[in-house]
Chains A and B, each alone.
Chain A
Amino acid sequence: MPSGVFKTSYAEDMAFIRWPIHRIALTLAAIFLLTYPFVFRNNIYMLYWANYIAIFLIATLGINILTGYAGQISLGHGAFMAVGAYASTITAIKLGLPFPLTVFIGAISSMLFGLIFGIPSLKLKGFYLAIATLAAQYLVDFLLVNPKLAWLTGGSSGLIVPEASLMGFEITKLSGSDFYFYFVTVPLAVFFFIFAANLTRSDVGRAWVAIRDNDIAAEIMGINVFKYKLLAFAIASFYAGIAGSLWAYYIGYLTPEHYTIALSIDFVAMILIGGLGRHWGSLVGTVFVLTLPEVLKRVIIPAISGFVPVTFTAESLRPIIFGAIIILFLIAEPHGIVELLRKVKEYLRLFPFPY
């Protein structure tokens, strides 16, 4: 009987699932995702939370591809999401197109927008690119609240998003719509997760990593740097567009306040806290960053409200704690929670004898 897992062919070594433990873990995850909505059938809050995370996970996967794998810093991911959300909502309102099609249109529009802002990445690097994407963020904000464009975007009062209907079935209108929407968001999130994971272990993913590590060296090795940078922008903004459209449909109304610079910074924080260039990092980071304000509101603020002289509210405490966590993580564990977990695992594996 073999005393471990031995791979006897190249295909086995390159397989998507390489270890028995992964198979077990993925099966458990699948069971968890399938039973979750039925367990919380009547708990709207938990269902909402799951949808929230699933939708934002799609966008986070996108920015992790762009920043974590291809190394292009983006501070405008919220704007990409906004473009997707507005494109899908406007096509749904003005043209009356069906829900799946508008989500797709939203994603494509966002992708085109991302491509436009990917073009400067040929010349701009690092800080300059970060600033350019930041400018994109503010330009989109400006256009969305602009009263001159209010006939299209609804201005600062926003738009009411039509009901999402799928196969003659109005998902967002039914009672318990959170439950039904779960079956839209979570499968999509799983699909995009697997797609991203497969993409980044292909030749495309390796080209991205090469560009991230040193773009000049990558170019010398024959990688078409511009093409792959643009591809990263396209895919990241496509993901953001999908997430933005779904989010608009899910909450039912659309205002520019959902997609400000704060959201863009949150996305960078998610991948940094979770783990740059790791898809599990996207998941962990999204869960962490989105759950934190709720924990603050429900647990920490009631606990401290009697002791401190100044008035801490969720609005003020969140940036303080959030900023502190970002700083702490960057100082103590720059590779994020996923790396931290790996270290813990490694420690436990060797536990009594660390040598």
Chain B
Amino acid sequence: MVLQSLINGITIGGIYALIALGFVLIYKASKVLNFAQGELVMMGGFMCLALSGFLPIWMAVVLAVIISAFIGFLIEKVVLKPLIGEPILSVIMVTLGIAYMLRGLVLAVWGPDIRAFPQIFPEGAFEVNGVVIPYVYLGGLLLSLMAIIAFILFFTRTTIGVAMRAVADDQQAAMSLGISVEKIFAISWAISAVVAAIGGILVGNIYGGINVNFAFIGLKVFAVVILGGLDSVLGAIVGGIIIGVAESVGGTYLEPFVGGGFKDVFPLLLMLLIMAIKPYGLFGTERIERV
């Protein structure tokens, strides 16, 4: 039982980590806090769902990811670019505005009902020492791990990745070295939308169905990034696993005592606790303010 919920938690946590990486990426590059990350996840899921209606599933996945990249790119160009340098509330609110719009679009096209999600992985499960692991979980975990590794390799090995790290480190210095900061912002949004879409497709597979409330995942992502530190890639990964496990174990063992739905609030409680003790997370850089 413990092992079972641990494994469920790690699988979900891996996907949270992936989605949180997208959030951290945008924050690192442009200091924008993306409240629409959950909606990007939902959008990716629905896109895949729509495309799988008339395409083979693997093509639908690839196409959904590409379209998501384009959406992310577009959001940055149209909405966030004019707001560079505006106060934090404006930026939070504008991403909330994007969240609203995506939500409305999904509601308009697909309605509020839960829709069955096309399965990528074979059905069934295998058993090790009494612990049942469905293939979906294994596939989800493997895919999210692969995506995370690809993400890290991209960051450390490619020119664009290095340029992105340079911009995250010091915008002015990066500019003076001929890096187009504008381009980096747009790319970071595109990549963020891509990882969100992958996350959405994986979670859709695990849940078996999605509806508009799927964007609730965005909230878990906040817990993850607060735990790990807003600007830490390692923090996002570690935080994702911790939150996933906490959610799963908390859901299994505490829910009978405190009532249904606790699974969704538990990560938030954990997050509040962490904020009180260690406001910059496990691996985040401490902000020093000067007047």
Residue B111 lies at the interface, judged by CB distance under 8 Å to chain A: yes
Q: How near does chain B come to A132, taking the closest CB pair, in angstroms? A: 6
Residue A17 lies at the interface, judged by CB distance under 8 Å to chain B: no
Residue B79 lies at the interface, judged by CB distance under 8 Å to chain A: yes
Q: How near does chain A come to B290, taking the closest CB pair, in angstroms? A: 8
Q: How near does chain B come to A225, taking the closest CB pair, in angstroms? A: 13
Count of interface residues, chain A, beta-carbon cutoff 8 Å? 50
Contact A311 B111 (CB under 8 A): yes
- Chain B binder among A6-14, A44-52, A121-129, A227-235: A121-129
Q: Which residue of B lies closest to A149 (CB)?
A: B259
- Chain B binder among A25-33, A87-95, A138-146, A162-170: A138-146
Binary contact readout B258-279 vs A (1 if CB under 8 angstroms, 0 otherwise): 1111101100110110011001
Contact A272 B93 (CB under 8 A): yes
- Chain B binder among A105-113, A177-185, A192-200, A213-221: A213-221
Contact A135 B101 (CB under 8 A): no
Q: How near does chain B come to A304, taking the closest CB pair, in angstroms? A: 11
- Chain A binder among B3-11, B51-59, B63-71, B80-88: B80-88
Residue of A67, A214, A216, A317 near B89 (CB, 8 A) is A67
Contact B272 A148 (CB under 8 A): no
Would you list which residues of chain B between 91 and 130 have a CB under 8 Å from chain A? 92-94, 96-105, 107-109, 111-112
A316 to B105: give the CA distance in the assembly, Å. 7
Contacts of A146 in B (CB 8 A): 258-261
Q: Which residue of A lies closest to B108 (CB)?
A: A316
A131 to B79: give the CA distance in the assembly, Å. 22
Contacts of A132 in B (CB 8 A): 272, 275
Contact A139 B93 (CB under 8 A): no
Total A-B residue pairs with C-beta atoms closer than 8 Å? 134
Contact B275 A128 (CB under 8 A): yes
Q: Which residue of A lies closest to B287 (CB)?
A: A125
Would you list which residues of chain B between 182 and 240 have a CB under 8 Å from chain A? 219, 222, 226, 230
Residue B291 lies at the interface, judged by CB distance under 8 Å to chain A: yes
A132 to B96: give the CA distance in the assembly, Å. 16
Contact B276 A123 (CB under 8 A): yes
Residue A322 lies at the interface, judged by CB distance under 8 Å to chain B: yes
Contacts of B104 in A (CB 8 A): 316-323
Contacts of A312 in B (CB 8 A): 108
Residue A331 lies at the interface, judged by CB distance under 8 Å to chain B: yes
Residues of B within 8 A of A (CB): 33, 79, 82-83, 86, 88-90, 92-94, 96-105, 107-109, 111-112, 219, 222, 226, 230, 258-262, 264-265, 268-269, 271-272, 275-276, 279, 289, 291
12 A-B residue pairs with Cβ-Cβ distance under 8 Å, sorted by A, are A73-B89, A124-B279, A127-B33, A131-B275, A132-B275, A139-B265, A142-B264, A146-B261, A268-B93, A319-B104, A321-B104, A323-B102
The 5 closest A-B pairs by CB, nearest first: A323-B100, A319-B104, A320-B104, A323-B101, A326-B97
